A = this chain, B = another copy of it.
C-alpha cells in the first residue's frame, strides 16, 4: 500500500482559517525619476561601475572619460553576465567575460576577436536616462525613452543659508510602507520613545490634510515642540512649532519643523524602489538654527541613524509578516493621516493619471500628540 493515502487535491479540507489577501501596496511608477546613488558613491567605485536596481531590474552606472554618467541594464547582451562585474575603460564599460565594450548610450563599440563591425540593435544594451544634480545621480525608470518630466529639486540644499548632510539607508518595505513610516506621527511616541517624542504628553492639536495631483501634505496646527532630543535641538526653549509632513510623487518625503524665523529643520528623503519590497532612502537633512552648525552637525547623523535603525527593524518585521500572510490586511484610522493619501497618489501615478486639479482635496481632524 502507499502510506501517502489519498492525494490532497481537495483543498477545501486544508484551507486555513487565515487566508492571504493577495493585496500589496507595491506600486510601479515607471515614468519618473529615482535616486540611484550619490555622486560620491559612484566615484568611490573607481574604475568599477556601480550596481543597483529599480523594481528588481539590475542597473549598472558608470561615468565615462568625458564625465557623462551612463545607466544601462546590468546584463551583457552577449552571454548575460552582469556588466557591473566589468571595468570602465575611457568612454566605455567593458564586460569581463568576452570583453564586449559599451558606451553610455548602451551601444556596443567593440567585440574583441571579431573582425566585423560591433554595432547593431541586438548587441545594444537598454539604457536609462540620467541626471546629476544636488550631489545625486537620478535615473529615469523606463529605458530607451525621453523623460516626460525632470527630477525633484532639493530646495534647501541649494540655499546658502542652510547646512545640509546626507545619509543613505536600505530597508525592507514598499515605497508606500517606507513613505508612510517616514511621515507618520503616531508611531514616534512608541517606536522612538525618548529620541523623538515621549508617550503620554497628551496635547490635542488640529491637523489639516491636503492632496494635490502630485503631492499630499499634513499641516499640524498648535503642536508643542516635540519632547525628545530632536525637539531640544530645534527649540531649546520650547514653544509651538510649525510642522508640515509632505509626500511628493513618485517617492519624496519631506518633514519640516519651524520655530519662528530662525529655526528650521527639513528632512527630505528620496526613496528608491530597489525591488517592489526593498527601498533605498537617500535622506538629506537641511537646517538653519540659532546655534552654530558646528555644534548641531555632529549630532544629526547619529540621531538620524538611531531613529532609522528602529524604523528599519519594524519595517522589516512588517514586510516579513505581510509575506507570511500572503498579502497586506490593514485597518486604518483617522490618525493614519498620510498613508492612504500616498497610496492613492501612487495608484493613480502607476496608471499614468496625474491630472492637475485646481483646488486641493482637504480635510481636518484632531490628534492627541
Contacts and interface: CB of A to CB of B under 8 A. Distances in A.
A4 B329 contact: yes
B328 A18 contact: no
A367 B115 contact: yes
Contact of A114 (B24, B80, B334): B334
A126 B17 contact: yes
A305 interface: no
Nearest to A369: B113
B189 A331 contact: no
A3 B341 CA distance: 10
Given A18-B126, A57-B17, A350-B14, A99 B199 contact: yes
A80 B112 CA distance: 52
A344 interface: yes
A22 interface: yes
A294 interface: no
A81 B347 contact: no
A154 B114 CA distance: 33
A170 B284 CA distance: 47
Interface in A295-336: 314, 317-318, 320-322, 324-325, 327-336
A77 B331 contact: yes
A5 interface: yes
A58 B321 contact: yes
Question: Taking each of A189, A322, A329, A333, which has the highest tally of chain B beta carbons within 10 Å of its own beta carbon?
Answer: A333
B325 A80 contact: yes
Given A111-B335, A322-B80, A13 B350 contact: yes
Nearest to A74: B321
A232 interface: no
Given A115-B204, A321-B75, A4 B28 contact: no
Number of copies: 3
A17 B30 contact: yes
A207 B235 CA distance: 78
A75 B6 CA distance: 21
A329 B2 contact: yes
A131 interface: no
A171 to B, nearest CB: 14
Interface in A26-59: 26, 28, 30, 55-58
Contact of A99 (B75, B78, B189): B189
A167 B367 CA distance: 51
B17 A4 contact: no
Contacts of A94: 190
A118 B123 CA distance: 61
26 contacts: A2-B331, A3-B343, A4-B23, A4-B24, A4-B327, A4-B329, A4-B330, A5-B25, A7-B22, A7-B24, A14-B26, A17-B142, A77-B330, A78-B330, A80-B330, A81-B318, A82-B321, A96-B190, A98-B187, A111-B335, A112-B189, A113-B185, A113-B367, A114-B335, A116-B334, A123-B331
